[in-house]
């Protein structure tokens, strides 16, 4: 097999702080777009974006700064209090959306989604509707997720809109690849759902340390939920303000019972499987650091048995993720899929596929991490990527 030429773009280091670079990007966005809107979550990254955008808006006379906050109902009292403080700032025009967004529920295979602020389940809401909450959005249809409806507030307008996000490339290889696809304005991406909306990541090159230092250095307000995380001894990579029931944050679901016991009692009544997940998310039951399949099964047999635990239409959705991963393997190599060692070129093995089945991987996050699995195997074997590609030339052509 002839090795294909690879397109690489190495990082370029410049003699400029990330703070100054982010301010320059903000000024560029204000010059290029008619409207600049901050997507505010209450987390540390969106806090940095909000404050930087506010500084530039003041500098350019573009106040008030627009911000959109999607209230996901199961948020902490600290996050709600922080959003209320931001909403009260005279230089910020915050729209507080409380619409029935569809959210992932990795706690349950039978009900893998739940809907915040569902009007049909009003008696089960974990919090009263906020005073500033907006409950209707033109064009919104129940079942939409945030990426599906984020462009709706701007429909019918001829203005170009820059939606500012707190996306950083340090957090995932997928985000790094997205940023390196272009060399000019690599932090600006046109929304796939709208012709006049651009998704902009002005702090893409900030590190965890940068984000944590900035509020202290500049005296910014922040979400006090992080103080609780710090008191619990969580490391900074674990301290995330996000929907608690998704596949990635599931391992820290138990912290809600410790930090917010009164809210937690309402949360476990609100979302199916939450109490079970809080207790067992870090065990084999949810695929956490699974070392061996049960009952003497092979990883391959266990993968298909787990798939059968899902009801339709979810079984078909998980099966699609598995087929996509297997297809990627077949596209890259002629080697059969190993039981437990990720392939050095595709990153696929039946152990990884079993973990995908256990977690559901409805957002295809695990598929995006297969490249990292491949790199780990290359490191263990002491091979470079070019050497792994060269091995394909000696393959006998047998797939399975």
The predicted-structure confidence for 15-72, as pLDDT tens digits, reads as follows: 789 999 999 999 999 999 999 999 999 999 999 999 999 999 999 999 999 999 999 9
Does the residue 385 lie in any domain? yes
Q: Do 32 and 149 belong to one domain?
A: yes
pLDDT score, position 9: 56
Q: Do 233 and 377 belong to one domain?
A: no
Tokens 């990527």 -> residue: 385
Per mean pLDDT, which range of 116-125, 210-219, 354-363 is the poorest? 354-363
Q: How far apart are alpha carbons 106 and 113 in whole angstroms? A: 8
Does the residue 4 lie in any domain? no
Does the residue 13 lie in any domain? no
Q: Do 202 and 115 belong to one domain?
A: yes
**163, 185, 210: which is the final residue of a domain?**
210
Q: Do 70 and 202 belong to one domain?
A: yes
pTM: 0.83
**280, 310, 326: which is the final residue of a domain?**
280
Q: For residue 296, is pLDDT > 90?
A: no
Q: Do 258 and 382 belong to one domain?
A: no
Does the residue 203 lie in any domain? yes
Does the residue 362 lie in any domain? yes
User: How sure is the predictor about 394, in pLDDT bands with cuts at 50, 70 and 90?
Assistant: low
Q: Do 178 and 308 belong to one domain?
A: no
Q: Do 274 and 299 belong to one domain?
A: no
Q: Do 55 and 201 belong to one domain?
A: yes
Does the residue 107 lie in any domain? yes
Task: Report pLDDT digits (tens) over 106-122.
Answer: 998 889 999 999 999 99
Q: Do 57 and 121 belong to one domain?
A: yes
pLDDT score, position 400: 33
Per mean pLDDT, which range of 22-31, 154-163, 273-282, 369-378 is the poorest? 369-378
Structural domain for 236, as ranges: 225-280
Q: Do 71 and 206 belong to one domain?
A: yes
Does the residue 287 lie in any domain? no
Q: For residue 391, is pLDDT > 80?
A: no
Does the residue 6 lie in any domain? no
If you average pLDDT over residues 120-132, what whole number do you get? 95
Q: How many distinct structural domains can be found in the chain?
A: 3
Per mean pLDDT, which range of 118-122, 123-127, 182-186, 247-251 is the poorest? 182-186
**181, 210, 239: which is the final residue of a domain?**
210
If you average pLDDT over residues 216-240, what whole number do you get? 91
CATH number for the domain spanning 201: value is 3.40.50
Q: For residue 5, is pLDDT > 80?
A: no
Q: Do 304 and 253 belong to one domain?
A: no
Q: Do 359 and 239 belong to one domain?
A: no
């Amino acid at each position: 097999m002839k090795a294909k030429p690879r397109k690489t773009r190495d990082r370029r280091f410049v003699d400029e702080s990330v703070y100054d670079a982010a301010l320059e990007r903000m000024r560029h966005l204000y010059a290029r777009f008619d409207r600049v809107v901050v997507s505010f979550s209450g987390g540390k990254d969106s806090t940095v974006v909000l404050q930087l955008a506010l500084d530039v808006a003041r500098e350019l006379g573009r106040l008030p700064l627009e911000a959109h906050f999607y209230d996901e109902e199961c948020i902490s009292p600290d996050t709600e209090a922080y959003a209320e403080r931001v909403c009260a700032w005279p230089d910020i025009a915050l729209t507080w959306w409380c619409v029935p967004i569809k959210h992932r529920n990795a706690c349950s295979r039978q009900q893998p989604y739940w809907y915040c602020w569902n009007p049909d389940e009003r008696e089960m809401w974990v919090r009263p509707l906020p005073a500033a909450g907006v409950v209707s959005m033109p064009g919104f249809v129940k079942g939409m997720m945030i990426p599906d409806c984020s462009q709706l507030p701007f429909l019918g307008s001829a203005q170009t809109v820059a939606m500012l996000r707190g996306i950083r490339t340090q957090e995932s290889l997928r985000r790094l690849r997205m940023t390196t696809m272009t060399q000019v304005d690599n932090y600006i991406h046109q929304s796939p759902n709208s012709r006049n909306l651009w998704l902009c990541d002005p702090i893409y090159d900030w590190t965890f340390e940068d984000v944590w230092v900035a509020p202290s250095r500049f005296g910014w307000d922040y979400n006090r939920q992080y103080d609780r995380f710090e008191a619990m001894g969580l490391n900074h990579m674990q301290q995330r303000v996000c929907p608690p029931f998704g596949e990635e944050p599931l391992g820290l679901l138990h912290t809600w019972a410790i930090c917010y016991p009164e809210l937690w009692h309402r949360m476990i009544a609100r979302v199916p499987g939450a109490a079970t997940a809080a207790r067992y998310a870090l065990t084999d039951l949810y695929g956490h650091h699974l070392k061996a399949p049960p009952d003497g099964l092979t990883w391959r047999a266990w993968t298909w048995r787990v798939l059968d635990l899902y009801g339709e239409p979810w079984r078909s959705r998980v099966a699609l993720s598995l087929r996509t991963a297997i297809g990627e393997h077949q596209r890259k190599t002629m080697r059969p899929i190993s039981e437990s060692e990720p392939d050095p070129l595709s990153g696929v093995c039946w152990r990884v596929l079993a973990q995908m089945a256990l977690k559901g991987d409805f957002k295809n996050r695990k598929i995006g991490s297969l490249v990292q699995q491949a790199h780990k195997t290359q490191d263990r074997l002491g091979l470079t990527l070019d050497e792994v590609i060269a091995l394909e030339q000696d393959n006998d052509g047998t797939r399975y």
